[in-house]
């Protein structure tokens, strides 16, 4: 018959202490990752074809919230921006029709998205809204610019300028856009035809577009993007590894 020996009070006390230390270490590590990925580098996955041909669906990107400044809501601290958003920047933002998450939930979500290559997003799990909580687009116009569009091609008149120039003459970044033919019987007067009369951006407005102009949810559909909606600037693509790329 087997004999069971009870651990002494001292042994039980040491076991509890070891478990407590392990839990504390795990919490410290988790806190470190939460702070790092929320302040210095976040991750986002491209879930549509809106940024083709340059960025394919399924690509995982790293972005920095610090570039444009970052607000720590829990502490009421606003960190200064390194630089303002510029034309041609690839940006991550919360679209106007989605509630912006903050606090501990946002911190934890940053860690989960990085470790799962962006495949798991807690916003999508906990929300009844199936829209994407974060989008990636290109900044085409900044506050003060006057912008117009013809067949999905953008012309820009910077503040203080007299003439409109094509986006590729104004934007100092290398990128390609993709424009397909409109369906038959679709004319320029119909919605989403790629035409827009001239409009001047306000002090807090940014005009963002997908590089795949006809297959993108962007400013052509829901209007200007306010500065507070910007979550960061894309720094690099880390997945697939074979397509690793740095962005400036």
State in Å, rounded, how far the first CA of the chain is from the last one: 73
Q: How many domains would you assign to the chain?
A: 1
Per the domain annotation, does 45 fall within a domain?
Answer: yes
Q: Which residue has the higher pLDDT, 120 or 44?
A: 44
Per the domain annotation, does 8 fall within a domain?
Answer: no
At 225-246, the pLDDT tens digits run: 999 899 899 999 988 888 888 8
- Please tell me the least confidently modeled range out of 107-111, 207-211, 216-220: 107-111
Per the domain annotation, does 116 fall within a domain?
Answer: yes
Per the domain annotation, does 3 fall within a domain?
Answer: no
At 51-86, the pLDDT tens digits run: 999 899 999 998 988 888 876 554 556 678 889 999
User: Which residue segment(s) compose the domain that 104 sits in?
Assistant: 13-246
- Quote the mean pLDDT of the chain: 81
Per the domain annotation, does 64 fall within a domain?
Answer: yes
Per the domain annotation, does 185 fall within a domain?
Answer: yes
Q: What are 45's strand-pairing partners? A: 60
pLDDT beyond 90 at 207: yes
Q: What's 25's domain CATH number? A: 2.10.109.10
Per the domain annotation, does 25 fall within a domain?
Answer: yes
CA–CA distance from 191 to each of 150, 165, 183, 194, 214 (Å)? 13, 24, 12, 8, 12
Residue 109's pLDDT is: 62
The beta strand positions in 85-229, using DSSP E, are: 90-93, 135-141, 146-150, 153-157, 165-166, 196-200, 205-209, 225-226
Q: What are 148's strand-pairing partners? A: 155
CA–CA dist 158, 141 (Å, integer): 8
Q: Which residue has the higher pLDDT, 52 or 103?
A: 52
Provide the token pair at 115: 């470790």
Per the domain annotation, does 1 fall within a domain?
Answer: no
């Amino acid at each position: 018959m087997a004999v069971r020996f009870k651990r002494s009070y001292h042994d039980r006390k040491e076991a509890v202490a070891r478990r407590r230390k392990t839990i504390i270490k795990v919490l410290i590590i988790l806190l470190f990752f939460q702070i790092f990925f929320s302040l210095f580098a976040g991750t986002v996955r491209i879930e549509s074809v809106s940024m083709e041909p340059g960025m394919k669906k399924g690509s995982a990107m790293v972005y920095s919230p610090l570039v444009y400044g970052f607000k720590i809501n829990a502490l009421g601290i606003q960190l200064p921006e390194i630089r303002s958003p510029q034309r041609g920047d690839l940006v991550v933002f919360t679209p106007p029709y989605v509630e912006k998450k903050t606090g501990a939930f946002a911190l934890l979500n940053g860690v989960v998205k990085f470790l799962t290559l962006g495949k798991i997003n807690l916003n999508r799990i906990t929300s009844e809204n199936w829209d994407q909580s974060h989008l990636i687009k290109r900044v085409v116009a900044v506050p003060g610019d006057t912008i117009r569009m013809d067949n999905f091609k953008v012309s820009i008149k910077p503040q203080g300028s007299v003439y409109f120039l094509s986006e590729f003459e104004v934007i100092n970044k290398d990128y390609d856009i993709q424009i397909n033919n409109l369906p038959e019987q679709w004319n320029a007067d119909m919605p989403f035809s790629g035409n827009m009369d001239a409009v001047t951006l306000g002090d807090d407005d940014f005009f963002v577009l997908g590089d795949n102009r006809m297959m993108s949810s962007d400013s052509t559909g829901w209007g200007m993007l306010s500065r507070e909606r910007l979550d960061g600037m894309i720094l690099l693509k880390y997945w697939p590894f074979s397509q690793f790329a740095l962005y400036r």
